[in-house]
Amino acid sequence: MAFSTFPSVSKCSSIGREKDTVVADMDGTLLIGRSSFPYFALVAFEAGGILRLLFFVLASPIAALLYYFISESAGIQVLIFAAMAGMKVSSIESVARAVLPKFYADDVHPETWRVFSSCGKRCVLTANPRVMVEPFLKEFLGADVVLGTEIRTFKGRATGLVRRPGILVGNKKAEALLNTFGDERPHVGLGDRQTDAPFMALCKEGYIVPPKSDVKSVSTDKLPKPIIFHDGRLVQKPTPLIALLTILWIPIGFPLACLRIAAGSLLPMHMVYYAFWALGVRVIIKGTPPPKLTKSNPDPNTSGVLFICSHRTLLDPIFLSTALGRPIPAVTYSVSRLSEIISPIKTVRLSRDRATDAAMIKKLLQEGDLAICPEGTTCREPFLLRFSALFAELTDELVPVAMVNRMSMFHGTTARGWKGMDPFYFFMNPSPAYEVTFLNKLPKELTCGSGNKSSHDVANYIQRVIASTLSYECTGFTRKDKYRALAGNDGVVVEKGHVAKANKVMGC
């Protein structure tokens, strides 16, 4: 059947399809974008680094020439080789699970999703490597079957070549469909190009997804599962232009980041605000901070202010100090030694023992003000994770602080990589910004001591207040939930020959 004879997907009914089977192509069909370049570029950079991304970008013109003048499969083979050859399969799987879903979810085609989501059984046929797309398709789009190109491996590493039957395009998609469904013809087939016609002809109904530049992607809250946790350094989808600009910027951005970090670490804190502005780092202050507590000697009967911050990066306490014009110590965990060395403020590691940590925090509060991030880990999306409640038992001097940042090129957090690079990546952004909003001090009647409230009630109340200020959503997710989703573990790290669990009581 000629491809042009298939009707548009807009004419496909999505009512009463609960028992039907749908088979859809991915690029240009399930996704609005027809090019898989950005997603291969993400694999190249996130699993291989900047040099691998450079190699991939240099190889992409060859892939484009082969795609248009030789065959679609030849072009895709070059992309696979350039992005994956020599990489650990576990690294590719990690990127597919923790990085790609965020970018895929931002590009879901509304008309295709309308039909795809209405069917009871969902299958995706794609020329992309299955290892790269399966986590997103099954976990976030509810696909039951994913048929994609299988990559060759050797001793746990990708060779850059593919296994039989090769790249799934044209008749090979039809063969894969027959091998999976046999004589049972799927009800609906969805495709966007001539090479999809063979498998669409095997379905009882076939529909074309026409290319349109003005299509608005499906809102992520309409998908079966929201994107709350994601990893990776790149903020924007690396189109060819963005990928090239990223490569060209890093030799400029890294020295600039070092200069910004040096300014923050070496200058007196009351000068850091102005130095940051001069170096392109924007610090926006809202609300009225409490006055500085002046004490000559520690007094067990009084307490400094405990700043309760939402957690966006490990730099939250530093920008809090910048906004206040004075260094505020912070309790931390899972922070690299390098970050501690270059930090302009005092950092105190938590021990994981509740009684020991409580005594340490009380002692620090007797000496002055203190900052803490009770979420225990960062979250990039507009959500707040569950607040640990220990802090509420230690003082009634509680000031919530809503922290939010803006980055245009690199994320300043990681769950899978080396955390020592987090501040460098944040400051490598051309013009990063931090917004620090001081909220009203918690009334005495809402605290544990004077108000006789439970620590969990206080923690939940502060979480709701900060979420309301930022227009974020409160969740019950914890650090352990994040690391299980992104790294496949409970956030356990090996440090100095022993295992140190990352699911501490609280911290930054």
Q: Where are the domains of the chain?
A: 3-222, 251-288+299-501
Q: Is the predicted pLDDT of residue 30 greater than 80, yes or no? A: yes
Query: What CA–CA distance (Å, rounded) separates 338 from 340?
Result: 5
Quickly state the pLDDT bin for 491 (edges 50, 70, 90): low
CB proximity list for 154: less than 8 A, separation 6 or greater: none
Q: Which residues contact 122 (CB under 8 A, 6 or more apart)?
A: 21, 22, 24, 116, 141, 142, 143, 144, 145
- For residues 38-54, give the mean pLDDT: 96
Region 63-73: mean pLDDT is: 92
161-193 per-position pLDDT tens digit: 999 999 999 899 999 999 999 888 999 999 998
Q: Is the pLDDT of residue 500 over 60?
A: no
Q: What is the pLDDT of residue 508?
A: 35
| Residue 499: predicted pLDDT | 36
Mean pLDDT for the chain overall: 90
State the pLDDT confidence band at 299, using cuts at 50, 70 and 90.
low
Q: Residue 298 has what pLDDT?
A: 54
Q: Which residue has the higher pLDDT, 351 or 112?
A: 112
* Residue 81 pLDDT exceeds 60: yes
pLDDT of residue 416: 87
- The single residue listed with the structure tokens 């990489």 is 87
How far is it, in rounded angstroms, from Cα 340 to Cα 346? Answer: 8
Tokens of 488: 């496949």
Lowest-confidence pick of 3-7, 191-195, 328-332, 434-438: 3-7
Of the pLDDT bands very low, low, confident and very high (cuts 50, 70, 90), residue 296 is: low
- Please tell me the distance from the alpha carbon of residue 113 to that of residue 19, in angstroms, as a whole number: 17
Structure tokens at 500: 């140190």
For 52, other C-beta atoms within 10 Å of its C-beta total: 21
Are 332 and 343 in contact, with CB atoms under 8 Å apart?
no
What average pLDDT does this structure show over 3-31? Answer: 91
Confidence band, pLDDT 50/70/90 cuts, at residue 2: low
CA dihedral in degrees (335, 336, 339, 344; nearest 10)? Answer: 50
Q: Are 248 and 241 in contact (CB under 8 A)?
A: no
**Residue (of 478, 367, 377, 364) closest to 419 by Cα position:** 377
What gap in Å lies between CA 377 and CA 157, rounded to an integer?
Answer: 31
By the 10 Å C-beta count (0-12 exposed, 13-18 middle, 19+ buried), 492 is classed as middle
Q: In the 8-state DSSP scheme, what is residue 184?
A: -
| Number of Cβ atoms within 10 Å of the Cβ of 359 | 13
Q: Which of 405, 226, 385 is nearest to 312 (CA)?
A: 405
Model confidence over 368-387: pLDDT tens digits?
999 999 998 999 999 999 99
| Per-residue confidence (pLDDT) for residue 5, from 0 to 100 | 85
Distances in whole angstroms, Cα of residue 153 to Cα of each of 46, 84, 94:
19, 10, 16
For 182, the 3-state DSSP assignment is: coil
**Contacts of residue 479, Cβ cutoff 8 Å, sequence gap at least 6:** 375, 376, 377, 385, 491, 502, 503, 504
CATH architecture classification, 251-288+299-501? 3-Layer(aba) Sandwich (3.40)
Structure tokens at 138: 């099954």
Please report the pLDDT score of residue 405 as a whole number. Answer: 96
Question: Residue 497 pLDDT > 70, yes or no?
Answer: no
Q: What is the CATH number of domain 3-222?
A: 3.40.50.1000
Mean pLDDT of 65-82: 94
Residue 494 reports pLDDT greater than 60: no
**Which pLDDT value is given to residue 26?**
95
Q: Is the pTM of this model over 0.75?
A: yes
* Cβ-based neighbour number of residue 456 at 10 Å: 14
Dist CA 310 CA 279 (whole Å) = 25
For residue 345, pLDDT over 60 is answered with yes
**What was the pLDDT predicted at 507?**
36
Question: What is the pLDDT at residue 297?
Answer: 53
Length of the chain: 508
Contacts 24+ apart (CB under 8 A), 142-145: 142/117, 142/224, 145/121, 145/180
What is the number of alpha carbons within 13 Å of residue 425 lying toward its C-beta?
Answer: 20
pLDDT at 458 over 90: yes
Confidence (pLDDT) at 220: 87
Q: Mean pLDDT, to the nearest integer, of 457-482?
A: 94
Give yes or no for residue 293 having a pLDDT over 70. no
